[in-house]
Amino acid sequence: MSFSRKTKTVKLILDLFENTSNALSVVELTDTFSKKMNKTTVYRILDRLEEAGELHSFTDKDGLKRYAKNFSKLKGLNEQANHPHFMCQDCGISSCLPIEVSAPSIPNYTINNSEHLYIGHCNECNN
Amino acid sequence: MSFSRKTKTVKLILDLFENTSNALSVVELTDTFSKKMNKTTVYRILDRLEEAGELHSFTDKDGLKRYAKNFSKLKGLNEQANHPHFMCQDCGISSCLPIEVSAPSIPNYTINNSEHLYIGHCNECNN
DNA sequence: ATTTTATTGCAACTGATTTGCATTAAGAAA
DNA sequence: TTTCTTAATGCAAATCAGTTGCAATAAAAT
Ligand SMILES: [Mn+2]
Ligand SMILES: [Mn+2]
Ligand SMILES: [Zn+2]
Ligand SMILES: [Zn+2]
């Protein structure tokens, strides 16, 4: 297993992800925990949590890596199923969408992985 | 118009994109033209060419910005149509796919923009 | 040929992420 | 519980993509 010790810093981050289903960037997390842990620690913990399957990640439009809890835990959806991500151009929140997306088949190409990112206005910012 | 002068550096970059339909990162371009122009110049020319509609761009899985010639020129496809991008995990080449993709509609959400990225093996690396 | 100003080069800077290394602290073993 | 092993952390420095300020250069208009 790639993360073995439940340190206090790991617990803090795990707790945070228990309480949000949004996708958070390292920048947001280091800011939130600036008094509690070093930024390098945040990077390393997220790495390990992803390895361990607790979190998953994607790269947003700005090139920032964002993490969210494993989607199967979030919606009871098939863990294998690929889902898209959303980012609100007003408030900046980012989230996993409970939808299945599929990749097309291209002659002579193999597609192993697909990333779908939608940008627009969230329900909060819409009305 | 946001790019007015056809300087020798602009011509070099334009020529390169005439001869490839791949999506190139600034890193690749600065490398290619390291003896011909400054990296800042590469950044600025790409900016202007995108503004002018000669090129378009997207953010790849590694968070790098990639540019390719305008897709309408590439395939005679509707310029408005959204198309996905592919990246080979073997050779690293990246390209526009001549396919139309559409975004789902999510209740209470507005989707203005969508990015689709497929990762796998290209025809060259496949066989 | 002269003038105007868009474009370039260069050096310094920013912001995200990584790395090396000495120190600390989970948790297994005694 | 105390001791031991080593995973995990903090910190400082490095890396890497991208940006900025400014003086020098060169398109292209006059
Ligand atoms: Mn997700
Ligand atoms: Mn494209
Ligand atoms: Zn919003
Ligand atoms: Zn390939």
- pLDDT tens, position by position, A19-77: 999 999 999 999 999 999 999 999 999 999 999 999 999 999 999 999 999 867 655 56
Q: State the nucleotide closest to A66 in CA–C1' terms.
A: C16
How far apart are the CA of A116 and the nearest CA of chain B, in angstroms?
5
CA distance between the termini of chain A: 45
Q: Closest Cα partner for A89 from A59, A124, A63?
A: A124
pLDDT band at A119 (very low <50, low <70, confident <90, very high): very high
The answer on pLDDT for A78 being more than 50 is yes
The answer on pLDDT for A105 being more than 60 is yes
pLDDT band at B80 (very low <50, low <70, confident <90, very high): low
Q: Is residue B74 part of a domain?
A: yes
How far apart are the CA of A99 and the nearest CA of chain B, in angstroms?
9
Instruction: With residue B123 as reference, give the H or E element that holds it.
Output: helix B123-126
pLDDT of residue B32: 96
SS3 A96: strand
pLDDT band at B74 (very low <50, low <70, confident <90, very high): low
SS3 A110: strand
Q: Is residue A100 part of a domain?
A: yes
> What integer is the mean pLDDT of B68-79?
70
Q: Is residue A53 part of a domain?
A: yes
pLDDT band at B27 (very low <50, low <70, confident <90, very high): very high
> What integer is the mean pLDDT of A4-29?
96
Q: Is residue A61 part of a domain?
A: yes
The answer on pLDDT for B79 being more than 90 is no
Q: Is residue B117 part of a domain?
A: yes
CA distances from B37 to B11, B43, B46 (A): 12, 11, 13
The CATH code of the domain that includes A82 is 1.10.10.10
Q: Is residue A2 part of a domain?
A: no
The answer on pLDDT for B4 being more than 90 is no
Q: Is residue B58 part of a domain?
A: yes
State the residue range of the domain holding A88: 8-126
Q: Is residue B2 part of a domain?
A: no
Name the average pLDDT for chain A: 91
Cβ–Cβ gap B112/A122 under 8 Å: no
Domain count for chain B: 1
* CB-facing half-sphere around the CA of B112: CA atoms within 13 A: 9
Q: Which residues lie below 8 Å from residue B58, measured CB to CB, with a gap of 6+?
A: B23, B65, B66, B85, B115, B117
